[in-house]
Structure 1
Amino acid sequence: MDINEISFENLPKAVAHLVKEIGEIKLLIQNVQVFESKELSIPIGIEEASRLIGKAKPTIYALVRQRKIPSYKYGKKLYFFKEELLEWISKGKKKTIQEIESEVLKYNHNRNRESNRK
Structure 2
Amino acid sequence: MEANQITFDSLPKAMASLFEEVKQIKSLILDTSTKEAGDQLFTIQETGEFLHVKRQTLYSYVSKGIIPHHKRAGRLYFSKSELIDWIKTGNKRPFDVEEQAKKIISKRKRKGGSHE
TM-score, normalised to structure 2, is: 0.46
Instruction: Indicate the structure with greater helix content.
Output: 1
TM-score, normalised to structure 1, is: 0.45
